[in-house]
Amino acid sequence: MIGLVTTTAAGRAAAARLAAALPDTQEYDVRGIEDAFGECAGVVSFLAAGATVRLLAPLLQDKHRDPGVVVVDEGLRFAVALVGGHDGGANALAHRVADVLGATAVITTASDAVGLPGLDTLGWPVEGAVAAVGRAMLDGGPVRVEADATWPLPPLPVGEVGEHVLRVTDRVVEAEARTCVLRPPSLVLGLGASRGVDAEEVLALVDTALAGAGLSAASVTAVGTADAKAEEAGLVEACARRGWPLTTFPSERLAGVPVPNPSEAPQKALGTPSVAEAAALLLGDELVVEKTTSARATVAVARRRPRGRLALVGLGPGARDLLTPRAQAELRRASVWVGLDQYVDQVRDLARPGTRMLETGLGKEEERAHSAVAEAAAGHAVALLGSGDAGVYAMASPALEVAGADIDVVGVPGVTAALAASSLLGAPLGHDHANVSLSDLHTPWPAIEARVRAVAAADLVVTFYNPRSRGRDWQLPRAVELLLEHRPAGTPVGVVTDATRPTERVELTTLGALDCSTVTMYACVVVGSSQTTVVAGRMVTPRGYRWSGSDVP
């Protein structure tokens, strides 16, 4: 819950706007600020910064326990992350508040100010010299990374040399003055338990097994057991204490997992020769600690191999304000960018320090797709950039044709060229429509012509992508000929070049008057259906609604 603390009419009005836009908010007056601080995950204070500081100072404990506090001024100009920037979520909350109120988010956390992710904000447990290593990265000093495996981390300005060290490992290591240890989510447990086992016995067994193998409990990310033990109180309580999610499996599935140490006891009781080892292997990839037992519990430990992450990011038609917030977040999260050089240039300023760029020129689509998948398969967090929507005449298709099940794939939708062109022309896509690329580089022209004939016969509005280039100057005139066989010469046509870019050009003409020689490869040509009209200089394809003249304002 987000607490909204107000004392003035302007503050209450702004709080009402936030309450309408954000889920789970509760308004408090200034006398209830202490209650808000104790009850809420975040606090937005519509008081002066000094007053907020004085009221909350006696309540502050440490950054790991305090909620994030954001202060908004009376004029709604700034949303200042005052307390708990990282751990408390104040930085993210300040951005959310600023978006709703039209204010400017003010972030003073050093790492955020220079575009670096804080080591304590990656979502993984972190130990050791966090401040010292983080400071070294901020200062641009030599920091080297030592990792047992490649994980899809965000970009970090690290290298192969340096006095300060960032270690990424699930193994127990000795504390060193200039070393920060990041614990990846690499370990999973399989647990078996007899009826009546208590949580203390389960946790003592787990800790003993991990310590014996030199493994850190901080890297444990999941626990598995048999369905029959789903409500075993001691086992459930042990997982709850450590914050481990518990997954249960039916006995027949456990029985199908080859294990090194099958046993007759669980076979007789549950119908499977293994619970702990089988459950660990179902959650993980390789067994690193075979089953270990106490009087009433059994544990086995498996390790998960890292899975790379491939984000298919649509950059939109060109204007920065049409690049979605989700796309921006994925770009900042990725440590490797793969894309056409001109698309990378379009968003290069969003790259965090340490981002590795793999840029290629026109005609290298397959190379880019293979490079992106290979980087993700190696364990990296990768963003494959495409214009418009990455899945529409862009890079998602060639990448997914070669991507295996060993990587995670995230699709990030973008505003397509057709949508951008349509918005500039009016509402030409108001009814059924189709997109057709006139490029025969990858599709034989007979197939393209058959599609244009079908669109023409179906009376669909059509947007032509890749309509014309210096080497392809006859396809668009031929497509126009095919359309004229089915719709009148007066059919409205819009030609939008460089939509949403500084060189944007919008032309409205007709099918019979279209001068194909003026169309370039940077244009979208939108041809209306037989129902499309021009109203006040705008293309409109009606939905088919009917109204009387008295309904028109």
Residue 194 maps to which CATH number?
Answer: 3.30.420.180
Task: Pick the closest to residue 192 from 179, 207, 205 (CA basis).
Answer: 205
Where would I find the beta strands (DSSP E) of 304-380?
309-314, 336-340, 356-360
Check whether residue 481 and residue 387 sit in a common domain.
no
**pLDDT of amino acid 111:** 60
CB atoms within 10 A of CB 83: 23
**Higher-confidence residue: 129 or 306?**
306
Among 22-36, 390-404, 407-421, the minimum mean pLDDT is found in: 22-36
Query: Is residue 504 within 8 Å of 497, Cβ to Cβ?
Result: yes
Predicted pLDDT of residue 552: 46
| pLDDT tens track for 18-54 | 999 988 899 998 888 989 998 999 999 999 999 999 9
Is 548 within the bounds of a domain?
Answer: no
- Residue 229 CA to residue 118 CA, distance in Å, equals 39
Confidence check: pLDDT of 509 > 90: yes
Mean pLDDT along residues 210-233? 96
**Overall domain count for the chain:** 5
59 has pLDDT over 60? yes
Q: Among 113-122, 194-203, 218-227, 235-244, which is the least confidently predicted range?
A: 113-122
Quick one: 450 and 502 in the same domain? yes
Please give, one letter per residue, the 3-state secondary structure of 402-454.
HCCCCCEEEEECCCCHHHHHHHHHEECCCCCEEEEECCCCCCCHHHHHHHHHH
Looking up residue 346, the CATH number of its domain turns out to be 3.40.1010.10
Return the pLDDT at 545: 56
509 located within any domain: yes
Question: What is the rounded distance in angstroms from the CA atom of residue 224 to the CA atom of residue 208?
Answer: 18
Residue 551 lies in a domain: no
- Tell whether 545 is covered by a domain: no
**Does 392 have pLDDT greater than 80?**
yes
pLDDT at 117: 66
Instruction: Please tell me whether residues 173 and 205 are part of one structural domain.
Output: no
Q: Does position 548 have pLDDT exceeding 60, yes or no?
A: no
**Are residues 245 and 168 part of one domain?**
no
| Residue 114 resides in a domain | no
Find where tokens 């003993």 sit: 208
Average pLDDT, whole number, for the chain?
Answer: 92
Q: Is 252 exposed, middle or buried (0-12, 13-18, 19+ CB in 10 A)?
A: exposed
> Looking at the structure, do residues 373 and 396 belong to the same domain, yes or no?
yes
User: In terms of pLDDT, which residue wins out, 391 or 115?
Assistant: 391
Name which of 173, 195, 194 is nearest 182 in CA terms: 173
Domain-ending residue, one of 108, 137, 170: 108
pLDDT band at 362 (very low <50, low <70, confident <90, very high): confident
Query: Are residues 265 and 207 part of one domain?
Result: yes
280 falls within a domain: yes
Rounded distance, CA 535 to CA 532, Å? 10
Same domain, 220 and 330: no
- Tell me the chain's radius of gyration from C-alpha atoms: 30
Q: Do 210 and 299 belong together in one domain? A: yes
Query: For residue 478, what are the CA distances in angstroms to 398, 399, 437?
Result: 28, 32, 13
Question: What integer pLDDT is reported at residue 114 of this predicted model?
Answer: 58
370 close to 173: Cβ distance less than 8 angstroms: no
The predicted pLDDT at position 107 comes to: 82
For residue 320, give the DSSP letter: G
Any domain includes 387: yes
**Separation between Cα atoms, residue 204 and residue 210, nearest integer Å:** 10
CATH number at residue 17: 3.40.50.11220
- Quick one: what percent of the chain has pLDDT higher than 90? 76
Tell me: pLDDT of 105 over 70.
Answer: yes
- Asked whether 287 and 302 are in contact (CB, 8 A), the reply is yes
pLDDT (0 to 100) of residue 169? 96
Domain final residue pick, 75, 108, 141? 108
pLDDT(553) > 50: no
CATH number at residue 533: 3.30.950.10
Q: How far is CA 55 from CA 60, 71, 132, in A?
A: 10, 13, 32
pLDDT tens, residue by residue, 9-19: 999 999 999 99
Provide the pLDDT for residue 109: 74
Q: State phi, psi for 69 to the nearest 5 degrees.
A: -125, 130
Q: What is the pLDDT of residues 243-301, one digit of tens each?
A: 999 999 999 999 999 999 999 999 999 999 999 999 999 999 999 999 999 999 999 99
Does residue 226 contact residue 269 with C-beta atoms inside 8 Å? Answer: no
Q: Say yes or no: 173 and 196 in one domain.
A: no
Is the same domain home to 93 and 144? no
The alpha carbon of 124 is separated from its chain's Cα centroid by a whole number of angstroms, namely 17
169 contacts 207 by C-beta, under 8 angstroms: no
| pLDDT at 435 exceeding the cut of 70 | yes
Question: Is 549 part of any domain?
Answer: no
Q: Which of 108, 139, 156 is the last residue of a domain?
A: 108
Q: Are residues 296 and 314 in the same domain?
A: no
Residue 96, domain extent:
2-108
Gap between the Cα atoms of 192 and 232, Å rounded: 10
3-state secondary structure of 488: coil
Is pLDDT above 90 for 363?
Answer: no
Residues 425 and 535 in one domain: yes
- The arithmetic mean of pLDDT across residues 505-521, rounded, is 96
pLDDT tens track for 314-361: 999 999 999 998 999 999 999 999 999 999 999 999 998 889 999 998
